[in-house]
Amino acid sequence: MAKVKIATDWLGGCAGCHMSVLDIDERIIGLLDAVEFTSSPVTDLKHPPKDGVTVGILEGAICNTRNIEVAKMMRERCQILVALGNCATFGNIPAMRNLVGTGEALKRAYVETESVVDGLIPASPELGIPVERVTGVDKVVKVDVFIPGCPPSADAIYFAFTELLAGRIPEFPPEYFKYD
Amino acid sequence: MEMVNLTINGRSVSAPSGSTILKAAKDVGIDIPTLCDHPSLTPIGACRMCTVEVEGQRTLVTACTFPVADNMVVQTESPRVVKARKLVLELLFSERNHICPSCESSGNCELQELGYRYGIDHWKYPAITKRFPIDATHRYMFLEHNRCVLCGRCERGCGELAANHTLGLGNRGSDSIINCDAMTPWGSSTCVSCGTCLQLCPTGAISDKRSAFMGRDTETERVKSTCNRCSIGCGIEVATRSNNVLRIEGDWEAVVNGGRLCENGRFAPLFESRKRITKPLVKTGDRQTEATWDKALSTAAELLGSVGGAEIGAVTTSDATNEALYLLSLIFRDNLKVSNVGMVNGAVPVLPGLPCGSLQDMLQSDIIIAAGVDPVSDQPVASFFVKRAVDLGARLILVDDKENELAPFASKKLGINEISTAADIAGEAASPFVLYGAGIAGDAMRALAKLGDKALFLALQPGVNTYAADALGFNNGFTPKSAKVLFAQIGEEGLTTGHMLAGIDDKTALIVQASYQSPLTQRADIVLPATIWSERKGSLTNSEGRVQKVNQAIKPQGEVKSDWEILSLLAETLTGKPPVTSLEELSTLAQQKITNKEI
């Protein structure tokens, strides 16, 4: 049987959810019999292959225009899109900047921070432009599976993989369903 | 009680008429989720989490407010109900900051639990991100409006349980916030720091400053015990982690206080700055040096054996447990034949033969006489009940010659010489309640006694365990003057005041059992270090004469021992055998003697 292709990527997050994917430990070896990780931030291939994957996984919140592009590309190239972790599902910690506003948050981070001298807010054309309101991934593309958690536990992630491989959309039992 | 029969989720259920659907379901183990409801508060049906489907009703109804009726058919988890609850949760999550990982209450949050229960895995509606201020002006707590769901539990607790009415709802619509005294900073408001709101808040909107971020419930241990700050004897629940006390909470199930506590009981014990004594001390020459328990106890026994019973004195504060008071009497009166045995402060003489009422009884009364007692400063939890009774329509007659903080709530204020007027007025009432204290004596009390056939009486004792001390015969005019050897059991009390030291002759040999350093312990020849409230076991007797258990929440510091344990060892050193074989035996003996007291 052909292996199920998986691609992962991250948006505005801390990489903790990807760490949690790696945290499934030796179970990943068994998993590799059934799946192929094509692209991810920890592989050489950074973008999901053009011919598509079955499962696309996104970590992180929508914080800037670059995040929107990445999310849209992943959506176009996968059949099932998984929002992994609290940032991808709710916006989480990055979304707390909504309480002060993006402009205010940038000023505090790049200009007013105590350790900064003559600070400047980055404005290089190659950078994404921060959005006014940070949101979960589902506010810009359709999401099929939400896995909350900060980060979701390795067990929750492994459970999601096994359920998806069995052809089911995972419904998480209470021990895997956490907001922190 | 009239019962009605209804069906909940296809199950036949009987419930008392007048009970709510929520109560009827709970009694048979059917769990209906709630958020704004709390068993100790009046239900208001504000949050709509408990909505259920009742056959024949046009809309879903709130189970917390809807009364049961005969033949009613209720569905608590039908698809329509679940859909409505999810909508309520989605709307709650769409306002303010409900991002769990940075919240103090994550893991102890009722909103979070509901999110889990109904599988809220993303937020359907874009969140309104209006920012609210944080009020951190209070000494003990902070109010994080961004985490608030406006359930109003804090506000109702402030009004219904503490009867203080500091908290209220301010502004309108999505701008609504909980506020103090119409938008006064919490720290400068009329708040009495009882912490009832803190204990009621279902989310991270009100948090304890001291224990914030120090561990969620799954990481802490909880021990029920009895507060030792005054003679009310409130039930407490002590939350600890790694042998540290994090928080003190009121025990909702406690008969005496029903969850209420005051500043002195909830917060003050955790802000103790006095220095502990952790090892026995024995004076050699002019200096106190650390000693073993054996050495300290044998030196104490030698001192006590060196003089006759007439030259020994024994005195205790009311902080001692029932068990310690019993042993103190046994050792000094029975073993050493000492008659100069007493306590530091006096007791309120309890009039014989009058029916004793509880604080809860006060809420059913129509007239309350408060005579010679100021619970606002001395027994705050009692004052919450007085003020609540006044809110419920009772009239308060204050009888006192001194300034009294209950005065603003009294409909009549009389001097102590006018007490029979108060008794006459109360005589006209259906169910009067008499609260009296150390401020009245003899004649004044006899004037109240004529209400004996209809009123309930409660004497608020001035000290923690004064009732037991009085029952065990410690209220007998002790004088330190004649003692050549004096044993002083002071526990946690800080006798820095002159009166105890003043009466002690310079040549008097002084044995002090205490928890904290004080001028008295510095002057002592032998210091026996005792446990504090969180470390000790035993029991206390409150103003009603109710004997309540004190349980150990954390392990004792250093080599300190419980007050009764020290006395038991002293008795063993003096007589060669231990006076009792176990704490249980001792507690039973003490309780028998206390409750057999003739009133």
- Mapped to the 3 state alphabet, what secondary structure does A28-51 carry? HHHHCCCEEECCCCCCCCCCCCCC
Distance between CA atoms of residues B28 and B30, nearest Å: 6
CATH number of B128-271: 3.30.70.20
**Over residues B472-480, mean pLDDT:** 86
Task: Point out the least confidently predicted range of A90-94, B502-506, B563-567.
Answer: B502-506
* A180 to chain B, closest Cα gap in Å: 5
Q: Is the pLDDT of residue B599 over 70?
A: no
Instruction: Identify the bridge partners of residue B246 per DSSP, sorted by sequence position.
Output: none
Q: Count Cβ atoms below 10 Å from residue B555 Cβ, excluding itself.
A: 10
Interchain pair B102, A139: CB under 8 A: no
Euclidean distance between the first and the last CA atom of chain B, given in angstroms as a whole number:
35
Chain A to chain B Cβ contacts (< 8 Å)? 63
Omega cis (within 30) before A151: yes
Angle between helices B563-575 and B322-329 (to 10 degrees): 20
**Over residues B116-145, mean pLDDT:** 94
Residue with tokens 């592009």: A69
Cα dihedral sign, B41-B44-B49-B50: positive
* B115 to chain A, closest Cα gap in Å: 9
User: Which among B107, B122, B127 is the nearest to A89, CB-wise?
Assistant: B122
Asked if residues B470 and B494 have their Cβ atoms less than 8 Å apart, the reply is: no
Distance between CA atoms of residues B133 and B177, nearest Å: 10
pLDDT score for B345: 80
DSSP designation for B416: G
Encoded tokens for B492: 């946690």
Encoded tokens for B556: 């004792």
* B11 to chain A, closest Cα gap in Å: 26
Q: Is the pLDDT of residue B236 over 70?
A: yes
Q: Which CATH architecture has domain B3-93?
A: Roll (3.10)
**Over residues B460-466, mean pLDDT:** 94
Interchain pair A178, B127: CB under 8 A: no
Chain A interface with B: residues with Cβ < 8 Å: 83, 86, 89-93, 95-96, 98-100, 133, 135-136, 138-139, 143, 146-148, 150, 171-172, 174, 177-180
Q: Name the residue among B74, B18, B30, B66 with its Cα closest to residue B45.
A: B66
Distance between CA atoms of residues B235 and A83, nearest Å: 47
State ipTM.
0.94
Q: Is the pLDDT of residue B210 over 50?
A: yes
Confidence of residue B502 (pLDDT cuts 50, 70, 90): low
Distance between CA atoms of residues B449 and B434, nearest Å: 10
**Over residues B11-18, mean pLDDT:** 96
Q: Is the pLDDT of residue B496 over 60?
A: no
Interchain pair B101, A92: CB under 8 A: yes
Confidence of residue B495 (pLDDT cuts 50, 70, 90): low
E-assigned strand segments in chain A: 4-10, 35-37, 53-59, 62-64, 78-84, 130-135, 145-147
| Residue B509, SS3 per DSSP | strand
Q: Is the pLDDT of residue B501 over 80?
A: no
In chain A, residues with a C-beta closer than 8 Å to the C-beta of B114 are none
User: Which among A96, A143, A147 is the nearest to B102, CB-wise?
Assistant: A96
Tell me, rounded to whole angstroms, the distance of Cα B502 from its chain centroid.
33
Contact partners, residue B465, CB within 8 Å, separation at least 6: B228, B231, B318, B319, B320, B321, B322, B325, B540, B541
Asked if residues B536 and B562 have their Cβ atoms less than 8 Å apart, the reply is: yes
**Over residues B63-82, mean pLDDT:** 97
Q: Is the pLDDT of residue B308 over 50?
A: yes
| Residue B223, SS3 per DSSP | strand
Q: Is the pLDDT of residue B201 over 50?
A: yes
In chain B, residues with a C-beta closer than 8 Å to the C-beta of A146 are 121-122
Q: Name the residue among B481, B488, B440 with its Cα closest to residue B342.
A: B488
Q: Name the residue among B467, B318, B317, B437 with its Cα closest to residue B377.
A: B437
In chain A, residues with a C-beta closer than 8 Å to the C-beta of B112 are 179
Q: Which helix (H) or strand (E) holds B174?
A: none
Task: Point out the least confidently predicted range of A12-26, B307-321, B490-504.
Answer: B490-504
Residue-wise pLDDT tens digits, A51-88: 999 999 999 999 999 999 999 999 999 999 999 999 99
Percent share of chain B, pLDDT over 70 = 98
pLDDT score for B293: 98
Task: Point out the least confidently predicted range of A170-179, B101-110, B426-435, B492-501.
Answer: B492-501
DSSP designation for B472: T
What CATH number matches the domain at B281-347+467-595, 3.40.50.740, 3.30.420.40, 3.40.630.30, 3.40.50.300? 3.40.50.740
Q: Is the pLDDT of residue B203 over 60?
A: yes
Q: Report phi then psi at A63, rounded to 5.
A: -110, -25
What CATH number matches the domain at B359-460, 3.40.228.10, 3.90.1300.10, 3.30.70.380, 3.40.50.2300? 3.40.228.10
E-assigned strand segments in B302-451: 312-316, 341-343, 367-371, 395-399, 412-414, 432-436
Distance between CA atoms of residues B199 and B260, nearest Å: 9
Residue-wise pLDDT tens digits, B250-264: 999 999 999 999 999
Distance between CA atoms of residues B51 and B321, nearest Å: 49
Contact partners, residue B83, CB within 8 Å, separation at least 6: none
Distance between CA atoms of residues B375 and B388, nearest Å: 13
Tell me what the pLDDT averaged over chain B comes to.
Answer: 94
In chain B, residues with a C-beta closer than 8 Å to the C-beta of A95 are 99, 127, 129
Task: Point out the least confidently predicted range of B84-98, B223-237, B487-501.
Answer: B487-501
Residue-wise pLDDT tens digits, B157-183: 999 999 999 999 999 999 999 999 999
Distance between CA atoms of residues B59 and B237, nearest Å: 41
| Residue A153, SS3 per DSSP | coil
Encoded tokens for A57: 């996984």
Tell me, rounded to whole angstroms, the distance of Cα B293 from its chain centroid.
33
Encoded tokens for B235: 């039930």
pLDDT score for B244: 96
Encoded tokens for B421: 């007027």
Q: Name the residue among B374, B379, B356 with its Cα closest to residue B434.
A: B356
Interchain pair A83, B106: CB under 8 A: no
Euclidean distance between the first and the last CA atom of chain A, given in angstroms as a whole number:
37
Contact partners, residue B184, CB within 8 Å, separation at least 6: none
Distance between CA atoms of residues B564 and B578, nearest Å: 12
Q: Is the pLDDT of residue B393 over 50?
A: yes
Q: Is the pLDDT of residue B472 over 80?
A: yes
Q: Which helix (H) or strand (E) holds B185?
A: none
Residues of chain B with CATH 3.30.70.20: 128-271
Residue-wise pLDDT tens digits, B315-340: 999 999 999 999 999 999 999 999 99
CA dihedral B280, B281, B282, B284 (to 10 degrees): 150
Residue-wise pLDDT tens digits, A14-27: 999 999 999 999 99
Query: How do the residues of chain A divide into helix, strand and coil, expressed in percent and rounded to 5?
Result: 35, 20, 40
* A80 to chain B, closest Cα gap in Å: 16
Residue with tokens 């044995």: B511
Residue with tokens 């001395």: B378
| Residue A61, SS3 per DSSP | strand
Confidence of residue B494 (pLDDT cuts 50, 70, 90): confident
What are the residue ranges spanned by the domains of chain A? 4-91+135-176
Residues of chain B with CATH 3.40.50.740: 281-347+467-595
Tell me, rounded to whole angstroms, the distance of Cα B2 from its chain centroid.
35
Instruction: Identify the bridge partners of residue B528 per DSSP, sorted by sequence position.
Output: B513
Residues of chain B with CATH 3.40.228.10: 359-460
What's the CATH fold of domain A4-91+135-176?
Rossmann fold (3.40.50)
Contact partners, residue B64, CB within 8 Å, separation at least 6: B20, B21, B22, B34, B36, B37, B43, B44, B45, B50
Mutate to test the interface with A, among B94, B122, B131, B217 (most CBs of A within 10 A): B122
Distance between CA atoms of residues B324 and B305, nearest Å: 21
